[in-house]
Amino acid sequence: MIYQSKNIYEIRKNRASALLRELKKIIPKKEHAISDLVHWKNPWELLVAVILSAQCTDKRVNIVTKDLFKKYKKLQDYAYAQQEDFEKDISSINFFRMKTKSIIASANKIQNDFDGKVPETLAKLITLSGVARKTANVVLGNAFGKTEGIAVDTHVKRFAIRFNLTDNITPEKIEQDLMQLFSKKEWFIVSNLMIQYGRRIAPARKYDISKDSLVKIYPPAGKIFGV
């Protein structure tokens, strides 16, 4: 958002800095800048895994990709895959039919339009089927070490709203707000830290906030989920 009040912006920016410092303390360092998707070995496999992970747990995606990546070894294997066969291979994934279409279509576009290589810019990545800004940011950060934005999933969205870092509710607008509050060099890590916080410390239900040091930084956050 464009802040009408410099004071509000400064308050949020200071709060964001304090929250980030605490997140770095409470989340193990080895988890600061990695995805929980574990079986990918190249940018294409990561892209596949991230597409599969939409509205699905990383644990389930890891189970499926363990065998999937052994069966489909190259981009061409996905491009020429039969819809029905691929659907069976990922049938335990939510929305497997739609994701099958997206993965096959993306493989063909990368093969035909990008010389068989996953593009390394957000603008090109979001032209692929099933790839929005969140997916593109995850791939850019994890596969290429590049940062063009902040990946906003449900955990990041909930964090931003709960700790009053945004007035918006859509991922795209929340991303723009967070990009103003954190320095660009922190964009990749801040998303991962918020995700790990949501998974390991502060679930989307009532929990013991006495053990949550972030609530001490911004006490109003304890009113929603505290017990």
Q: Look at residue 224 in the predicted model and tell me its pLDDT.
A: 66
Long-range CB pairs of 104-112, under 8 A, 24+ apart, other chains included: 104/78, 104/79, 105/129, 105/130, 106/47, 106/51, 106/130, 106/131, 107/44, 107/75, 107/76, 107/78, 107/79, 107/81, 108/79, 110/44, 110/75, 111/75, 111/76, 111/79
Both 55 and 139 in one domain: the answer is yes
| This prediction's pTM | 0.85
67 and 120 together in one domain: yes
Whether residue 24 is found in the same domain as residue 70 = no
Write the DSSP symbol of residue 54.
Answer: T
Residue 38 lies in a domain: no
Tell whether 93 is covered by a domain. Answer: yes
Q: Determine the pLDDT at residue 4.
A: 54
pLDDT at 227: 43
Same domain, 47 and 12: no
User: Domain range holding 93?
Assistant: 43-144
Low-confidence ranges of the chain (pLDDT < 50): 226-227
- How far is CA 26 from its chain centroid? 20
Task: Assess whether 135 and 88 both reside in one domain.
Answer: yes
Give how many domains the chain has, as a whole number: 2
> Among 184, 177, 130, 127, which Cα is nearest to 152's?
177
What pLDDT score was predicted for residue 29?
79
pLDDT digits (tens, 9 = 90+) for 105-156: 999 999 999 999 999 999 999 999 999 999 999 999 999 999 999 999 999 9
Q: Domain end: 144, 179, 198, which one?
A: 144
pLDDT at 32: 64
Same domain, 72 and 158: no
CATH number at residue 203: 1.10.1670.10
